[in-house]
Structure 1
Amino acid sequence: MITGIIIFLLIVSNVLFSWKGFGNEVFFDRYKFNVDGILLYRQYNRLITSGFLHAGWLHLIFNMLALYFFSGTLGAVLDWWGFLIIYFVSLVGGDLLSLFIHRHSGDYSSVGASGAISGVIFASIALVPGLPVGLFFIPMPGWLFGLLYMLISIYGIRSRTGNIGYDSHLGGALIGMVVALLMKPSALLENYVTILIISVPAITFIYLIITRPHFLLVDNFFYKSHQRHYTIDNKYNEEQHNRQQEIDRILDKINKSGMRSLTRAEKEKLEEYSKRIR
């Protein structure tokens, strides 16, 4: 009963917070995940607040449906406090992995509860491997879904297409699974084969990006051929990157020729940018 209330409150909070962000760009920019905001200005609250913002209604609805469908299984196995811990630890853990991977890209930003929801999904799979999951209406066991999810996330991070948010998905999924197993250690012995199948590729990949950062530098035809396939996160991050490039161009123009050299449109863009970062 309590778990159901918590799930309801999480969904309502996500909807209200995201709705506020849809109509208020200043609010949206203040609370989104942003590398410079966290590392330079120590705005650590962004690690949590970004999980309650979404890039659009489709992004929000998809995440909330996933939360609704998978939370029931986890809530039945764990107490309400266990569910809540997994949700927020996965959210922060996913963002921390994203922060590490993009630590040299100060303008990188993202939003969404995907890290938290990935944690809920993979905690459920670790505790109940036979959990039936529907992918594009194709039924499959939870362990197979988990393996596919991990492999797709690894590909997404390595392809680096438009700062896609697969890294927070991967981090959240691993953290959620680990926390669930700490709460229910018996599941590790009962389901160790499934857990190894899912976790070994992800752990190996994380080891590689920590010890061999150049592993992320991919530049070949296969990856380039996929760069036109955008997700909601792709589109949002590309727009943010383009906007930042335009601001950098205007600031460079001021540095070289002074404020009087700016056009009216450039002054308006600069004023809008100033309001967002206040």
Structure 2
Amino acid sequence: MGELNLVTLIIIAVNVLISFKGFKDDSFFQKYKFNIADINRGAKYQILTSGFLHVNTTHLLVNMLTLYFFANSVIFFLGTLGFILVYLASLVLGNLLSYYFHKKDMHYTAVGASGAVMGVLYSAILLRPDMMLGLFFIIPVPAYIFGIGYLFYTIYGMKRQLGNIGHDAHFGGAVGGYLLTLLLASWVFEEHLLMVILLALPILVLFVLQKMGKI
């Protein structure tokens, strides 16, 4: 896994500082969380700022641990700037997809770095499809199997509105990581073409379902 890269440490620190500020200051939390009503009134900055807030320490810890485990692979292949672009683009795209699906729901709110972290995770899967992930931290599963399975589960979660989870932000973040990685590392098309095609399948399914009005 290697040492914790400085840019990863900075991103984790920013998430921790802003999240703990939000834990203690509700007015701060309310101002910067993702809130459809506020965004429709002009608070577009929430599309970015909400990605650095979290509901509680468990939510923060899970996201930062996932980032910690996969950031180095992305930094190794794409460099520091490429990693930052993947992180921020995935965060924004995840929230834009949330906005697209919930723009008429004035009560919809969300926080968390999950979209950004999912983007980093899917970027790492594209760059290193041979790596193994621990399902439930125990069962070894090939990264690409996890990636495809999770995106299909996310589509199901979006359709059924399962739990208090921003499935659409997760999906949008994963798509952001997928697209940015292909843009920044075109060699992936040659070396991992099958993975590029397989990971695109859930994205096409979501597009078709949305066009059919199923989501």
1:64 alignment counterpart: 64
C-alpha distance in 2 between matches for 1:111 and 1:138: 29
Q: CA RMSD in A?
A: 1.5
Which blocks of at least 5 consecutive residues in structure 2 are unaligned?
A: none
TM-score (norm 1): 0.73
Give the total of aligned pairs.
212
Aligned to 1:103: 103
Gaps of 5+ in 1: 217-278
Deviation at 1:200, TM superposition (A): 1.0
1:178 Cα shift?
A: 0.8
| Aligned-pair identity (%) | 38
Shift of 1:22: 0.9
Q: Partner of 1:45 in structure 2?
A: 45
**What amino acid is the match of 1:79?**
G
Superimposed CA distance per residue, residues 114-171 of structure 1 (whole angstroms, 9 cap, x where no aligned partner): 0000000001111111122111121111101101111111111001135530100001
Within 2, Cα distance between the matches of 1:132 and 1:24?
Answer: 40
| SS at structure 2 position matched to 1:13 | helix
SS in 2 for 1:117: helix
SS of 2:130's partner is coil
Task: Provide TM-score, normalisation by structure 2.
Answer: 0.94
State yes or no: 1:144 paired with 2:145. yes
- Find the aligned partners of 2:18 and 2:162 in 1 and give their Cα distance: 27
Distance (whole Å) between structure 1 residues aligned to residue 75 and residue 160 of structure 2:
35
| Greater relative contact order (CA < 8 Å, ≥ 6 in sequence) | 2
Q: Which amino acid aligns with 1:84?
A: I
Contact 1:157 1:164 in 2 (8 A): no
Bigger Cα displacement from structure 2, 200-209 vs 87-96: 200-209
For the residue of structure 1 that corresponds to 2:5, the secondary structure is helix
Cα distance in structure 1, aligned partners of 2:128 and 2:60: 26
Q: Matched residues in 2 for 1:82 and 1:12: separation? A: 19
More deviation, 49-58/184-193 = 184-193
Post-superposition Cα deviations, 1:53-74, rounded to whole Å, max 9, x if no partner, equal 0011110000000000000111
Once the two structures are TM-superposed, the CA of residue 37 in structure 1 deviates from its matched residue by 1.1
CA distance, structure 1, for counterparts of residue 116 and residue 15 of structure 2: 12
**How far apart are the structure 1 equivalents of 2:27 and 2:183?**
40
2:81 corresponds to which letter in structure 1? Answer: W
Could you tell me which residue of structure 2 aligns to residue 171 of structure 1? Answer: 172
CA distance in 1, matches of 2:96, 2:65: 24
Aligned to 1:113: 113
Post-superposition offset of 1:193: 1.2
Q: Does the CA contact (< 8 Å) of 1:93 and 1:175 recur in 2?
A: yes
The 4+ residue runs of structure 1 with deviation greater than 4 A are none
For the residues of structure 1 that align with 2:168 and 2:190, how far apart are their CA atoms? Answer: 28
